[in-house]
Structure 1
């Protein structure tokens, strides 16, 4: 699984987990179906879930005139995923993480998502 695909699958998994009773394992199984997992994908999913409080606190400090709870669920999930990479995976250059998040937000969000995500993440 390529890194872009891993990020997209991680986004889909984390999106399912918000406000549901699914376990992480069930969400992963549902997202991947018959596909093979990857270490990078699993690190993104489990890492984001395990550090959610720290990630949310960090994101709240970067949002201007917004709260995390007011964001669209897809944008909140993209920001959490990217913030995890920026905060806990220093081997990936920040500009790569931000660019990937912006591109993914263009696919899964609306026409303004890319600019919003870029604006928040550029504060890292």
Structure 2
């Protein structure tokens, strides 16, 4: 019998984004606030492997700035924010916060992480929707970086 290939380990930064999305999702559905969400998520066995600083920054940043973040990505939606699935909504909040406030993370990394999270937690084609929104938003929030990437010679 063949052994199953071992699943690749997730980085502490990927886990931080996953837990932040779960926390935002929890807030969207229950109205819980950051301290309660952090307490609940910290009980999970995998939480010890998380980049805790990044997790707290993303969770609190997305929760504290949710209205402004919705205004930023909302301009690129083909529906009302209220019609988003809670998973897509949570991922767009986290990714928009990261694009807006964490310039040290390349915009392509932010978008790719959001796509992967949507593939893992969202609906069948949700990742295409999230990709489309973030592809339109990135040039607004990271104009210099996006322009530089477009002008870079391809090898």
Give the TM-score band, short-chain normalised. Answer: over 0.9
The gaps in structure 2 that reach 5 residues or longer are: 1-10, 139-155
- Give structure 1 stretches of 5+ with no counterpart: none
Residue 135 of structure 2 is matched in structure 1 by: 122
Q: How does 1:107-118 map to 2 (within 5 A)?
A: 107-118=120-131
Q: Which runs of 4+ in 1 moved over 3 A?
A: 34-37
How many pairs does the alignment contain? Answer: 123
2:18 is aligned to 8
TM-score computed with the length of structure 1 as normaliser: 0.92
Corresponding residue of 2:144: none
Say if 2:29 and 2:86, in contact at 8 Å, map to a contact too.
no
Asked whether the 8 Å contact 1:6–1:41 carries over to 2, the reply is: yes
Do 1:75 and 1:109's aligned partners in 2 also have CA atoms closer than 8 Å?
Answer: yes
Q: Provide TM-score, normalisation by structure 2.
A: 0.75
Distance 1:71 1:77 in 2: 9
In the other structure, the counterpart of 1:33 is 43
Note the C-alpha offset of 1:75.
Answer: 0.5
Q: What is the CA distance between 1:20 and its match in structure 2?
A: 2.0
RMSD: 1.4
